[in-house]
Structure 1
Amino acid sequence: MERNPTVQHLTWFLDLRRFGQLNISPSYQRRSVWNPKDRKLFLDTIFKNYPAPTIFLHRDTDENGRTVYNVVDGKQRLETIFMFMDNEISLDKNFGDTNFNGKKFSDLRPEEKKLFFDYKLVVDYIDNVNGESLNSIFDRLNRNSKNLNEQELRHAKYSGWFIQYVEDDLLDSFWTEYKISTPAKARRMKDVQFVSELLIIILENRIAGFNQDYLDEIYAKYDNVTEEDTDESEVDIEGLKGKIGFIKQYIKDMERANNCISKFFTENKAFYILWAVIALSDKKSLNNPEISAEKCLEFFNRIKSGATNDKEIADYNQASTGANTDLSQRETRYNIISKLFLK
């Protein structure tokens, strides 16, 4: 890999954006994860002329000589610069100077804007990628700096059918309705990680204890699967989609019956078992959703009553505390809950 570090004024990036030559969100990039406090701190860095980490770009020139710069690392910093320029964010109200406290870009005087425009950023160009994909380079940069969590690294590294399906499916309001996806979870891709676990139950036909290395193995295993090569990969993608649709509908029908899902199953530890029981049971052996809903309501009301002489309740409660994502804990809860769903 050839690298060519240099220094550019902040205005160089503004020009690239203006002329459509900056791709701030290539496929391997993560979602925007900086919160307002992070962005204000970076603006503080700029206006006080503190150094900032290097921004890595991949220069891509087409046959007509038009160059586009893909942001390999530095998206959050550049996003903050552009948001400030567009008056979407402001400096911290406690910046420490009345000329800058809480100001937006449009509030600044020309000489104050010049401090912003004259700020210099170190830029490292990645020109030739010899035998290593940009996804892998992005992965390496962020593993070294520990900026990304494990799921964000998977998003950067893998691009096959499995991860695409999971991320696309999270657009379904089903996941927000039952609080499996929330703005906080989505910000660091925790929702993607959990829904991946749910789909793995179907793909592997079993439950598993939570393990980041295991998730990496599954992502690698299904990374090259496409809808056109199901024979080779031995994955029935259409069957998988049908199963997911069935599980979602069953859960919706249970909720419609007595609101038991929103009452008792919105925590990940409970929803995982709910999904697993439906996914791993033969359809013919499952109760009607309304019956399962009624039995779940009765079971969780027993828990709420605080019965101390009920071994089944005691076992369920014990398996729901501490390391509740361990396989043994999940198996205990699965065996208890499955009785409520089977004829």
Structure 2
Amino acid sequence: MKTESRLFKMLRMDARTLIWWRSRRHRIDVDPSYQRKGRRWSISDKQYLIDSILNGFDIPKFYVVDFTWGDSPLNEKNSEYAVIDGKQRFESVFEFFDDKFPLAANFRLLNQPTLPLGGLKYSVLKTDYPEVAELFDNFNPDVMTVIASKKEYIEELFVRLNRSKPLSGAEIRNAITGEVSEIIRSIRGHEFFTSNVRFNTNKGQDLNCAAKLLMFEVTGALQETKKTQLDKFVKEAPDNTTLKKSVETLFSTLENMSEVFQFKDTLLGSEGQIPIYYWLCRNSSAEAVPYFRDFLETFMASLDNQVKRGALLTEGEKADFKIASRSINDRTSHSLRYDILKKAFDKWLSLNL
């Protein structure tokens, strides 16, 4: 009786530079049918990755199937490698090599902060700042190679890669005790508040912001968020079914936002605007949300009169948004700022996508 061949190995690949991977890009299947799927990256996502590489920060591991060892039924396109996890990172690296996007406008090299590198593309770095281009060329990503004879082994790898992900829907539901104050503390513990926001949280500003988001979600609308209303909301807890549904939606939205915004993001330097950013992301399509940060950079520049052509706002809208931002807890302020922001986001999407 013939025994079925079973093979599964995982090895750390010997160090290979990004320039090495670039030279073999045509031998890499970046989109096999069994790849771990992820959201589409925005320009700011890609710029953040390049920033991390140039400044020597650690980036997540790449996982690729290695077909150089021999024939495999998983080799769908006669390639040497197929990407399991890391498609967006590989594509971002190759696109930067190809000048498809520049460094972020506020980019700075940490060990040489005076170099005027913001907004430059790779070809300019190569010509004018070759030592900086070499940092990128010679970066060695951490790549795990997988040798597998069956697709099921790849699927098992996906499960194990995701097993430690925080705040699944079941975990969120299990954490709800019926006390709104406890839920607000759990919201405050989300990565969005611990890693993305830039405002000072020493006096509980994160708890205050979390309470506003939960109030919006439970009531299904923008509300007055002054101390009196927030205190009343916390004391008069809604039924447990409503809380469960609201918290699931809230955490799902925060998960999307934490992927869009950067670590200690300069765009999240004030607690006052975040409830409006949340409500717009929450009510936007899955295709639009990844571009929210890119839009917000243009919106803020337009608000400060830094954008002269193709501005998103009229002079009246600029004035209204600034006036409304002085009373960040009024319901009318929330509504007016949301309406202006949504109109501008829709316009930005129509112009850029």
Q: What band does the TM-score fall into relative to the shorter chain?
A: 0.3 to 0.5
Q: What TM-score comes out, normalization by structure 2 length?
A: 0.41
Work out which of the two has the higher radius of gyration on C-alpha atoms and give 1 or 2: 1
**What TM-score comes out, normalization by structure 1 length?**
0.42
